[in-house]
């Protein structure tokens, strides 16, 4: 007696592309906004320009606050006074992604951020 070949069963659940499923998950969990906001770290040098980028770096984003490390207290003071302008520029980079605050702090001494850049805060 000969058996008939089995036919493959179709899944009862409709599958969707992985990219769509991941996008839905990221949006539902709120991680999409966090990932977009973290992308602003890569934009710091372009937003502030080479002079400020040489003496500072975007270190982290915590919630809606950008943490920026600065090489000296003089630059920390200068950037604090420029905070509103920097926020406006930064928030114009990506649609729908905003940072509400910038917190400046002195950077630990690291190669490339030792304060010896030949720049002085404008007077």
The answer to whether residue 5 is domain-embedded is no
Q: Considering its fold, how many domains does the chain have in total?
A: 1
Q: What is the pLDDT of residue 115?
A: 47
C-beta separation of 18 from 26 below 8 A? no
Q: How confident is the model at residue 84 (pLDDT cuts 50, 70, 90)?
A: very high
Output the domain CATH number for residue 53.
Answer: 3.30.300.180
C-beta separation of 102 from 83 below 8 A? yes
The answer to whether residue 118 is domain-embedded is no
Tokens of 94: 């990506």
Tokens of 69: 């490390």
Among candidate residues 105, 1, 87, the one with its CA nearest the CA of residue 44? 87
Q: How confident is the model at residue 118 (pLDDT cuts 50, 70, 90)?
A: very low
Q: Please give the C-alpha separations between residue 91 and each of 5, 70, 108, 112, in angstroms, as whole numbers.
A: 62, 20, 27, 27
The answer to whether residue 13 is domain-embedded is no
C-beta separation of 75 from 120 below 8 A? no
Q: How confident is the model at residue 35 (pLDDT cuts 50, 70, 90)?
A: low
C-beta separation of 66 from 102 below 8 A? yes
The answer to whether residue 34 is domain-embedded is yes
Which residue range forms the structural domain that includes residue 51?
A: 18-106
The answer to whether residue 93 is domain-embedded is yes
């Amino acid at each position: 007696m000969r058996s008939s070949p089995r036919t493959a069963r179709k899944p009862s659940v409709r599958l969707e592309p992985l990219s769509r499923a991941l996008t839905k998950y990221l949006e539902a969990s709120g991680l999409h906004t966090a990932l977009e906001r973290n992308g602003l770290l890569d934009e710091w040098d372009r937003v502030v320009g080479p002079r400020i980028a040489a003496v500072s770096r975007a270190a982290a984003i915590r919630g809606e606050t950008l943490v920026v490390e600065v090489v000296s207290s003089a630059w920390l003071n200068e950037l604090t006074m420029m905070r509103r302008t920097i926020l406006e520029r930064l928030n114009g980079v990506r649609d729908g992604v905003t940072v509400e605050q910038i917190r400046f702090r002195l950077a630990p001494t690291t190669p490339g951020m030792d304060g010896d850049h030949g720049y002085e805060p404008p007077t």
